[in-house]
A = this chain, B = another copy of it.
Amino acid sequence: MAKAKRTLKWQRDPEGMRLRILEAAKQEFSAHGLAGARVDRIAAKAGANKRMLYYHVGNKDELYLAVLEGAYDKIRSEERGLDLEHLDPPEAIRRLIEFTWNYFLRNPEFLSLLQTENLARAKHLKKSTKVKSMHSPFVEMIRTVVRRGVDSGDFQVAVDPVQLYISIAALSFFYLSNSATLSVIFGRDLLDNKAKDERLAHMIGLVLAALTGQSAALFEVAKAPKSRAAAVQTV
């Protein structure tokens, strides 16, 4: 009784509320896409009233854009924390692939949001000056790493850093974002631990083999006796 009095009817918490709204919106948009997302569900998940969304962020589209900007902001921030410049080039590339893979694994909503935004042909992203100014540090990182690798003789090729960046992202992104349909097609779970480990090893092997020309050392199997090669490959 006395307690009920202390917690009157509600407390003010604008910042907390805004964060809860954005978090709820992120979940809702990534789970259902833009058209499939329900404003009422976002409000409910945020423990709020629907009116609050409009008060603190804006209408559905503005809400969506805020979520998208937040997602880019987050990955850019983590990317900046990765220091690859001083590693030897093959190790730097390996770390880059591992980071990308793990980031996507840890943030599946990011993948969904990008898929959704691309379905919309980046209509919203184009309007966001904020995101346009958030350049990934990876392109320059890759450029210098590749240059160093070529100079040191580790790498055989001076590959376009943008292409390489896209390729590294692609190898992880597609596997994870399309794992649902791929798992059905192949009739096996691509997301169990064994499959994930194999995928990471494959991606690292593929990219490093291409750059260094040392296929043998990077994929498990080399030009070993054929019988053994056949045995080791995982299928």
A residues whose Cβ falls under 8 Å from a Cβ of B: 32-36, 112, 114-122, 125-126, 131-132, 135-136, 139, 143, 147, 150-151, 153, 155-163, 166-167, 169-171, 173-175, 177-187, 198-199, 202-203, 205-207, 209-216, 219, 221-223, 226, 229-230, 232-235
Contact = CB atoms under 8 A, between A and B. Distances in A.
A126 B189 CA distance: 13
A234 B158 CA distance: 10
A4 to B, nearest CB: 42
Contacts of A232: 158
Number of copies: 2
Given A150-B229, A210-B207, A182 B166 contact: yes
Nearest to A32: B35
A71 to B, nearest CB: 11
Given A35-B33, A178-B114, A132 B187 contact: yes
A125 to B, nearest CB: 5
17 contacts: A33-B33, A112-B119, A118-B179, A126-B184, A131-B184, A139-B186, A151-B226, A159-B233, A160-B198, A162-B186, A163-B199, A163-B234, A170-B173, A171-B171, A205-B210, A207-B210, A209-B209
